[in-house]
Chain A
Amino acid sequence: MAATATGRATAASRGFDWREVLIWIGAALGFSGLYMAILFAPEEATMSHAQRIFYVHVPAAWVGFLAFGVVFLSSVAFLWTRQRRFDLAAHASTEIGVVFTTVAIASGAVWGKSAWGTWWTWDPRLTTTFMLWFIYAVSLMVRAYGGPSSQSARFAAVLGIVGFLDIPLIHLSVLWWRSLHPLPVVVRAEGFGSGLPPEMLWALLVNVAAFTLLYVALFSLRRAQMTAQDALSAQREQQRRHTAGPGAGMREGSR
């Protein structure tokens, strides 16, 4: 995406903004997905209509993990190259990822309540998603309170790497833990690809595609915002320097 003002203006005049195209496709998929989820997909045997929240829960969880994968890759790239754009990518993906993960957990809880009568079950996948949420939350804390941005960016990147490597270990640990204490109610795995009738599978895939496109669009938008904010700060700093003149005042971060 064009980063300069002139670039953007040119792109706009050309009438082609790939982000816009994506949003349209995503919206189309989203609506189809909604239709399929509510009307097209057959009713599930044991849980009836409440089960349909599965078409929101699974894609949201998927995007939550996808976003964290992007955080990991951007973090590695940032520490390797020190280029700000990778830090911005990690930051944008963290913000969006936490939103989708929250949706995943909330929808999982609602599903649980309606299907099994409890707001929370320590289902392994749900638990791991919950831990992912915590890692996201801590990541945002580090960015907010981790000191000057040059420092907090590094810390957040380190956390992104450590967290990503940790997630499989957390999941395996929870799996072992739950295997020792089977739930009183048998939790059927969401059954991705395992024993789902084809209509359900299609509905699920369409929704997954829609959510993924939504993620990509939001991610790219947020990143563009952050880049613009950076450019604005840099300009302000230049202006301040010109008007202030040499030797005036103290600057933060330098001695």
Chain B
Amino acid sequence: MTALTAVRHLLWKDLVLELRTREILTAMTIFAMLVAVVFNFAFSPSPADSLRLLPGMLWVTLAFASTLGLSRSFVLERDQQCLEALRLLPWDPGLIYAGKFLSNLLYLLAVEALLLPALAAIAGVRLLPAGGALIGVLLLGSVGLVAVGTLFSAMSVHTRIREVLLPVLLFPLASPVLINGTRATLGILGGWPWADILPGVRLLVAFDVIFVVVGYLVFEYVVEE
């Protein structure tokens, strides 16, 4: 039996639990929609402004919504000390990280699939011409957010101030995702030349690679006793 199979089983467990109650997905989606609406109240963007503001609104909304899902995902392991049970399994603790990373990523992508069209409709921005590139940037950014978010979620769930600690940890450290994600999204929607957008995309890729690897390696230090 390979490590990959073990991760698959971990993912199965998370998905069965989530699909049965759908509490994480529902909470994230509704929260994301609400934040988007609040943004519109706050800025009342004209159609001309919308294009400029959409990337920022999108990424900030995702950053906040992701903290909801990320914290829930480890809270459910806290109940009945299931995280300890996972650590008893004959696998490298990094695999627990891999399983959680994948399930968190899937939840975030699901929310994005719903949020993006909704935001575009509200803002009156046409997304389709840029479709593929946009999805690519969203994927890269989501991987980054979830890579560090999963690690910090595991940390914060062990503290008294978990609801506060996760966003406080995530936002500064995931700032490259927010900076590069928003600029790259803006560039794609604004039809900038590819060469102008490339540095941001490269930084996203670098961030993803570095922190997925680092997350996998240091996770055992976060969950050990």
List CB contacts (< 8 Å) of B27-68 with chain A.
none
Distance in Å: Cβ of B128 to nearest Cβ of chain A: 25
Name the residue of chain A whose CB is nearest to the CB of B223.
A154
Q: Which of A138, A158, A177 contacts B151 (CB 8 A)?
A: A158
Q: Which of A131, A165, A172 contacts B172 (CB 8 A)?
A: A131
Name the residue of chain B whose CB is nearest to the CB of A132.
B172
Range, interface on chain B: 20 to 34
| Chain B facing A: main interface SS | helix
| Interface residues as binary, A173-184 with B (CB distance below 8 Å gives 1, 0 otherwise) | 110110010000
| Interface residues as binary, B128-165 with A (CB distance below 8 Å gives 1, 0 otherwise) | 00000000000000000000100100010011110001
Any B CB within 8 A of the CB of A119: no
Instruction: Identify the stretch in B8-16, B87-95, B99-107, B203-211 within 8 Å (CB) of chain A at 4 or more residues.
Output: B203-211
Residues of A within 8 A of B121 (CB): none
Residues of B within 8 A of A166 (CB): 173, 176
Residues of B within 8 A of A180 (CB): 183, 196
Complex CA–CA separation, A158 to B165 (angstroms): 15
Complex CA–CA separation, A161 to B168 (angstroms): 17
A162 engages B148 (CB within 8 Å): yes
Q: Which of A151, A161, A163, A170 contacts B176 (CB 8 A)?
A: A170
Any B CB within 8 A of the CB of A135: yes
Q: Given the interface contacts A147-B159, A162-B148, A162-B214, does A138 sit within 8 Å of B224 by beta carbon?
A: no
Name the residue of chain B whose CB is nearest to the CB of A133.
B172
Name the residue of chain B whose CB is nearest to the CB of A79.
B221
Distance in Å: Cβ of A169 to nearest Cβ of chain B: 5
Residues of A within 8 A of B158 (CB): 146-147, 151, 155
Any A CB within 8 A of the CB of B179: yes
Name the residue of chain A whose CB is nearest to the CB of B198.
A176
Any A CB within 8 A of the CB of B73: no
Interface size on A, residues (CB 8 A): 29
Complex CA–CA separation, A169 to B221 (angstroms): 23
A162 engages B165 (CB within 8 Å): no
B214 engages A138 (CB within 8 Å): no
The 4 closest A-B pairs by CB, nearest first: A134-B172, A173-B176, A173-B179, A169-B176
Q: A173-B175, A176-B200 are in contact. List 19 more A-B contacts (CB 8 A).
A: A79-B221, A131-B172, A131-B175, A135-B173, A138-B169, A142-B155, A146-B165, A147-B160, A154-B221, A154-B222, A155-B158, A158-B155, A165-B210, A166-B176, A169-B176, A173-B179, A173-B203, A174-B179, A177-B183
Chain A interface (Cβ < 8 Å from any Cβ of B): 79, 131, 134-135, 138, 141-142, 145-147, 151, 154-155, 157-159, 161-163, 165-166, 169-170, 172-174, 176-177, 180
Q: List 22 A-B contacts (CB under 8 A).
A: A79-B218, A79-B221, A135-B173, A138-B168, A151-B158, A155-B222, A157-B221, A158-B151, A158-B155, A161-B218, A162-B148, A162-B173, A162-B214, A163-B173, A165-B211, A166-B173, A170-B179, A173-B180, A176-B199, A176-B200, A176-B203, A180-B183
